[in-house]
Structure 1
Amino acid sequence: MAIDLSQPAPEAVIIVGVHTPDRQSYTTNEYLDELEFLVQTAGGACVQRFIQQLPAPDSRTYIGSGKVLEVKAAVAEHEAGLVVFDDELSPTQQRNLEKELECKVVDRTNLILDIFAQRARTAYAKKQVELAQYQYLLPRLAGLWTHLERQRGGIGMRGPGEREIETDRRIVRDRISKLKGELAQIDRQMATQRQTRGQLVRVALVGYTNVGKSTIMNLLGKADVLAENKLFATLDTTVRRVSTEGGLPYLLSDTVGFIRKLPTQLIESFKSTLDEVREADLLVHVVDISHPRFQEQIATVNETLRDLKVSEKPQLLVFNKIDAYRPAEREEYDLTPRAPETFTLQELQATWMNRDGANTVFISARTGENLEGLKSELTRLVKGIQLERYPWSTGGWE
């Protein structure tokens, strides 16, 4: 099911989350802040948010019947056309909520899929997103048919009613199978292309979404990658041949950004894009140091890299956006351990991030501050990898 958020006037959206005892309250608020940013990226306008405290999400309505009534009142008050829930809803939960709230209901996964659908530019990326959408849609077909008449959009199947369910499940499964076959063929072609890149060292930019990877790609690779202050601004992998300060060539690739609760359907669909990460010799992990929870974003990226079984690869940690970093105010009597956002930039450079032999550099891709420092670090690391792999290939770049 696609979300139509492309009207000239942003659609009023309400976002909802559940706070459980196993996490801090600021984490729940951080999740909803990110969800609101996702809504804005999709083209909507968040008009109100709700947080329900529960030991665990309600199996029937996710938030419980009492909170459902509160959300329903807010939907009427703001004339909201969409309610977005922060966690993935089961087909039953989504069906019950749409019946109770009398408006469109989607979850974070569906919202991210819709953003990917908007952002996909190449035929390959569009096929990847379409596969993920169908995989998400398949278990939800039964619920969708009861209100298909009033859906403003859908990703394909339409029919007269519930009796067509089995037919349409087969159609969706066939489409999934066809897309997988087409993507597998393209994956093989791309794998062959990667094999023909010769002995060049491969460097992949990785990181949380909206940390500045594309801007760095444009600066280093003289590329023309879309870079804007939105989540998932670019989906298609861009690869450029770049030379170090000493003239040693290497391949630099920009990859799709990671995010907390990244839908598993997207990880599977974007396998080839992530293969650039798997086959890289060096990972440049870009971090938005101006973000108040950048350590949590680092942890999310590291967890994803572990899932991809590439966490042991050499890494360069690039703390970007130092021009926007502002240490938080602390009262003199506050004796609690200092959080990273309370340090000055100079203090941060002397913390764990620059110790224990870690490869780190602090830059501003927007202003160009310390870009030469980044280039020098890349030169040192790429040269080391090249000499380790091909000790005879000293060439003219030493």
Structure 2
Amino acid sequence: MTTENPVHLTPELVENPVGAYAGLRTRPGLGHVVLPGLNAPVRLVTRHEDVKAALAEPRLVRDRSTIPDSEMPDPQAELMAQGADGLPPEYAQYLSGHLALFDGDEHTRRRNPLTRAFTARRVAALRPFVEKTARELIEALAEREQADLLGEFAYPLSTAVICALLGVDAADQDKVCGWIRDFAYGDGSRVLEGLGGVVQYTKDLVTRRRAEPADDLVSALLADGGMADDEIVTVFFLLINTGITPPALFLAHAVLALLDHPDQLERLRAEPELLGRAVPELLRYVTLVRMGATLYATEDFVFAGTGLRKGEAVTVALFAADHDPAAYDAPERLDVAREFGRGDGHLAFGHGPHYCIGAALGRLVTGVVFEELLVRRPAAPELAVDRADVRFGHWPGDGFHLLSLPVRL
């Protein structure tokens, strides 16, 4: 493959671990591809070992602005331009301050206060709230002939958890969750209203928590003192963007994967002690974020057998890595009893300095949902439509994602 003739990936290819990726893995070096909906070519890393190495390689950075005088194609800029279309400039700082886009000392400065505030105790303390919220949502939906497990369960649950974590007052949660829905996963008609509502509410919340601290993330960040007020507002959007839509979609995709593998669902229900293995296996099998952030070479150097030029764009295919037969036995098979070695056993939460801050919370919520929805109930959920009628859409640069998951509970 050459830059002149890159492989044009489609959403179907991006989400097929056995298809295009198998061919890309067996080629020497890193081939050029064009991701779905984009035009700029990028070097694609598909092998598990190479993906881990890329995510820990200091000469591959996230912030293109630190590499001057490069005229190499930039798929990340193309992707962000699509997402920022029509966005008022005064809000740009809150959405462009994403931790994933910084490196080195600046990344450490922004991440450390959040890491210090995101304690194991704070995450564990959320378990009763997650259990109560999940049960109430399930009970309400179980009374209906059918329900959308994504829109009416996974999204509301993920949103409520983030609101509780940040410290949104109980009386304000419906209002704030409405703004988040409008901004993050509604029909798009009220994005700006949702964005404005969240920004103003978070600014007011920072002011209130400075005067009267509580046991929540915003108060902890203020006490830490490592972030300016506007950076705390940015954290709110970081958690909305990474702590709501990806976890909600993962929960729905994981349930669909189990419905597609009824033998595995039945085994999990019969042996609930397998939950500890099923969670990482489903994280691996689904790998909701198929493509990682764009990385840029800070200098000319050889990586994974390929000569990279300064400023050249590289993207890691997390989904491909989590289905690499060199790393897993029969990776295309869902196995709720699969045993992993030390660590996560997958790359769904990333690797290296940008490893997902919310991984522990994600594991907690997933474990609670599987227990409440799949194990404790007298009967497992069933699809309420034919499998062929389950609706999917896709975002630029990525594979297909569920638009809804109609089930009977």
Q: TM-score range by the shorter chain?
A: under 0.3
Higher relative contact order (CA 8 A, sep 6+): 2
Which entry has the higher C-alpha Rg, 1 or 2? 1
Alignment TM-score, normalising by the size of structure 1: 0.27
From the two aligned structures, give the one with the greater strand fraction.
Answer: 1
From the two aligned structures, give the one with the greater helix fraction.
Answer: 2
Alignment TM-score, normalising by the size of structure 2: 0.26
